[in-house]
Structure 1
Amino acid sequence: MAVGLRFRFLNGNQPLAVYFYAVPRLCLHIMGYWPEQLHRRAFVNFVVLAIGVATELHAGFRFARLGEITLALETFCPAGTSAVTLLKMFFMLRYRKDLLYVLNKQRAMLFPVGGQGPAKEQVMQHHFLMTCRFNFWALSAGFFTCTMYNLKPLLIVLLLHLKGRADEIIWSTPFNMTMPSWLFNAPYFPLTYVFIAYTGYVTIFMFGGCDAFYFEFCVNIATLLNFLQSDIRTLFRPYRYLLQINGFSGAVFESGFVKLIKRQNEIFELTHFFRQRYAIITLAHFVSASLVIGFSIFDLLTVGDGGLAILLYVGYTVAALSQLLIYCYGGTLVTESSVHLASVMGTCPWYQCSPKHRLYIHLFIMRSQRALTMDVPFFSPSLVTFTAILQTSGSIIALAKSFQS
């Protein structure tokens, strides 16, 4: 029952407050990093993952120096993801108060005291539910991959035992890490295995929480921009039978239009504020995820040994692509929603306004045409960027196949 309540945000009949940052709240609360309530376990998890990253990278470079490419690739894939996760943990701690401000600001804008009205609440329901399911899919893909890593050594031992080949059993750990040899012997090996497996889940829940926070922010901004589009149409509706909006009607119109401009400024400023806090996280995520996808596909096509290895690397590639899609789709939603403000304003009967108000409208359209983006140094997260990454991955596949032939 408790599990069902925890995942009730996947159902479509819940109160709107249940969906608000549901997946990032779940993940970050487990790790102790939820901005509204920082817990001491956050620092414990940071130290645990730091140890895992250092020992895993050391093992990867050692395998590379020895010319063991298969083991090096198997080590660098999760090591790169864990290293970026450690960076995300650092910035989640550093900008905790700023993220709390963003959280409270969006809550106040989406849930005003008087409510949003049935039509807007229906839009919120649709957007919120889509966000929760999308974020949960990416988290599930990562959780499946981590679980496969953790179960692979145990499944191999089980299969050898069932086939009567117990003499061939070699106990190994889920991830390759350089540690003192006595930790890999009895009676410490089970504890070492649990510790290494736990570092994987720290990575997954921090990755899921941090990335889901980004996507949820983007969808909420897109929702607020959609509300602004609806309010622009509503602003002009009472005057559709007038030849010109002037006098008392003009004063009322100007008051309403000023409020819309202030809301647009508020949304734009909040987006710029959040984008600056997430700039390094976004850049590091794209670089690491692109490399991980390349390593996974290359290893899958050239040195994969079939069976569990294929399932493992397919899962890893799907998880990495899902996390990239979160950033790219979120950036596209923000950009398209902001640009559409100009189109909506242009289709309204602005010609009924006085010359003074037409100037305001013209300036509003000009500003809206400069798309609001989630760009970081060197690129902007969008579906176009995601397509380019897929094309690059296709080139890697073609290169790997040429090695096979």
Structure 2
Amino acid sequence: MWHWLRFLRRDQPLSVYFFAVPRLSLEIMGYWPIGEKLPTRAIVHFVILFIGVVTELHAGIAFLQKAQITMALETLCPAGTSAVTLLKMLLMLRYRRDLANIWLRLRHMIFYGGLDRRQQRTIMHEHSVMAARINFWPLSTGFFTCTTYNLKPLLIALVLYLRNPKQELLWNTPFNMTMPELLLGSPFFPLTYAFIAYTGYVTIFMFGGCDGFYFEFCAHISSLFQSLQEELRATFQPYKGYLKLTPNQCVLLELQLRDIIIRQNAIFALTSFFRKRYAIITLAHFVSAGLVIGFSICNLLTVGNSSLGALLYVAYTVAALSQLLVYCYGGTLVAESSVELSRVAATCSWTLCAPRQRRIILLLILRSQRAPTMAVPFFSPSLSTFASILQTSGSIIALAKSFQ
């Protein structure tokens, strides 16, 4: 077991951390983009989740028609998450080759891009460890939430049995889905229960893989920008204390600056290419996460003194916020690391250079200030966006509490 989780330690090689969590999650589901053939388990998991989404939405609509608002929200909350997961599955298949190309290009930049300085290797290792640990957090919170959902009917049945062993127990499924009566009775109920429970884990691992791929990419792009910062500092380090550079030194410096700019442009191009492939996924995730947080807050305020129900919705809210944090923190890492490159360039000893080299440095600063973003229509994922979401959620809770 610990062999699969060794990326949580700090003493492993860089290759162990590189896309560790998304690769583990997506390979289990069959959606890891590297490889020629699409595994059969990918189609099987898509069909399983599709059945789960359709039956869950049908059950939620039925509860709404009966004016059972609490049950409807409890049903539509996981249904919305699963529906977005279906969309992610389709887009992961649609952009399978593009994502494989992105992974290979990023891997080449990190492992074979000439990042041989000790500071650069340290930056890569720290960012890889951070990405693995942060990606493991929403996966583990989602797994805990799904397990809570799956164990809730069993725990309720156990409590009722301990109170009165003679009464007939009423068995419920983990998620509210419209199933044929035949499958809800003996001897098929255990299989139906296992099927419904498994649909939740398909959602969790696809979220962990798809969202983890996004954050892992952002973390490594940030590390590449920081490596360029170290490269720029090292370029000017030999000329510390100089009053003026010779023509030969200016030519050498210009070649080094051109190499930095070429790599910067390659990072910009790769980031733009990735952002376009993930635009729909990012937008759909934020919309669904907002709805899930709203549903969870409403459910949390209506469960009353039910400690198990409160634990369930608290876990669901934490899982949704963790997934949002992954996107927001990733967008912040990319933008801030690029802007920091412009600050490093501005603080270098550019006054030693000839006018030609000064213009190159100026272009480098201007290009870095126009930082690449992970923006999608209507908003840009960042920590400020995440703070606004938290503030709005807190305001909604306070307003709802005032009416109780």
TM-score of the alignment, normalized to the shorter chain, above 0.5: yes
1:25 aligns with 2:34: no
After superposition, residues 29-68 of structure 1 pair within 5 angstroms as 29-37=27-35, 38-68=38-68
Distance in 2 separating the partners of 1:168 and 1:309: 23
Distance in 2 separating the partners of 1:19 and 1:301: 40
* Alpha-carbon shift at residue 240 of structure 1 (Å): 2.4
Q: Is the alpha carbon distance of 1:305 and 1:44 closer, same or farther for their aligned partners in structure 2, counting shifts above 3 Å?
A: farther
* Alpha-carbon shift at residue 239 of structure 1 (Å): 2.2
Check whether the contact 1:246–1:354 (CA below 8 A) recurs between aligned residues: no
Gaps (5+ residues) in structure 2?
A: none
Which residue of structure 2 aligns with residue 12 of structure 1? 10
Which residue of structure 1 aligns with residue 71 of structure 2? 71
Distance in 1 separating the partners of 2:203 and 2:348: 49
* Alpha-carbon shift at residue 65 of structure 1 (Å): 1.2
1:355 aligns with 2:355: yes
Q: What amino acid is aligned across from residue 28 of structure 1 in structure 2?
A: L
Distance in 2 separating the partners of 1:292 and 1:398: 18
Check whether the contact 1:89–1:206 (CA below 8 A) recurs between aligned residues: yes
Distance in 2 separating the partners of 1:376 and 1:402: 35
Q: Is the alpha carbon distance of 1:166 and 1:111 closer, same or farther for their aligned partners in structure 2, counting shifts above 3 Å?
A: farther
Q: What amino acid is aligned across from residue 4 of structure 2 in structure 1?
A: R
Check whether the contact 2:303–2:310 (CA below 8 A) recurs between aligned residues: no
Distance in 2 separating the partners of 1:185 and 1:300: 31
- Tell which deviates more after alignment, 165-174 or 284-293: 165-174
* Alpha-carbon shift at residue 45 of structure 1 (Å): 0.4
| Counterpart secondary structure, 1:178 | coil
After superposition, residues 85-164 of structure 1 pair within 5 angstroms as 85-112=85-112, 116-164=116-164
* Alpha-carbon shift at residue 360 of structure 1 (Å): 1.4
Which residue of structure 2 aligns with residue 229 of structure 1? 229
Q: Which string of whole-angstrom CA distances, capped at 9 and with x for unpartnered residues, describes residues 26-80 of structure 1?
A: 1001000111134110011011101111111111111011100111011011001
- Tell which deviates more after alignment, 326-335 or 116-125: 116-125
Distance in 1 separating the partners of 2:185 and 2:383: 49
* Alpha-carbon shift at residue 117 of structure 1 (Å): 3.2
**Alignment identity in percent?**
62
Q: What amino acid is aligned across from residue 22 of structure 1 in structure 2?
A: A
Which residue of structure 2 aligns with residue 217 of structure 1? 217
Distance in 1 separating the partners of 2:156 and 2:112: 56
Distance in 2 separating the partners of 1:344 and 1:113: 21
After superposition, residues 337-376 of structure 1 pair within 5 angstroms as 337-376=337-376
After superposition, residues 190-205 of structure 1 pair within 5 angstroms as 190-205=190-205
How many pairs are equivalent? 402
Distance in 2 separating the partners of 1:184 and 1:305: 30
Q: What amino acid is aligned across from residue 35 of structure 1 in structure 2?
A: P
| Counterpart secondary structure, 1:254 | helix
Check whether the contact 2:26–2:209 (CA below 8 A) recurs between aligned residues: yes
* Alpha-carbon shift at residue 246 of structure 1 (Å): 4.0
Distance in 2 separating the partners of 1:306 and 1:168: 22
Distance in 2 separating the partners of 1:135 and 1:195: 27
* Alpha-carbon shift at residue 100 of structure 1 (Å): 0.7
Q: What amino acid is aligned across from residue 25 of structure 2 in structure 1?
A: C
Q: Is the alpha carbon distance of 1:119 and 1:386 closer, same or farther for their aligned partners in structure 2, counting shifts above 3 Å?
A: same
Which residue of structure 1 aligns with residue 313 of structure 2? 313
Superposed CA RMSD:
1.3
Distance in 2 separating the partners of 1:269 and 1:45: 33
Distance in 2 separating the partners of 1:399 and 1:54: 34
Check whether the contact 2:119–2:230 (CA below 8 A) recurs between aligned residues: no
- Tell which deviates more after alignment, 187-196 or 119-128: 119-128
* Alpha-carbon shift at residue 303 of structure 1 (Å): 3.5
1:188 aligns with 2:204: no
* Alpha-carbon shift at residue 392 of structure 1 (Å): 1.3
| Counterpart secondary structure, 2:164 | coil
Q: What amino acid is aligned across from residue 386 of structure 1 in structure 2?
A: F
TM-score, length-scaled by structure 2 = 0.97
Which residue of structure 2 aligns with residue 297 of structure 1? 297
Q: Which string of whole-angstrom CA distances, capped at 9 and with x for unpartnered residues, describes residues 285-334 of structure 1?
A: 00110110111011101234512101100100100000000000010011
Distance in 2 separating the partners of 1:381 and 1:156: 40
Distance in 1 separating the partners of 2:369 and 2:113: 31
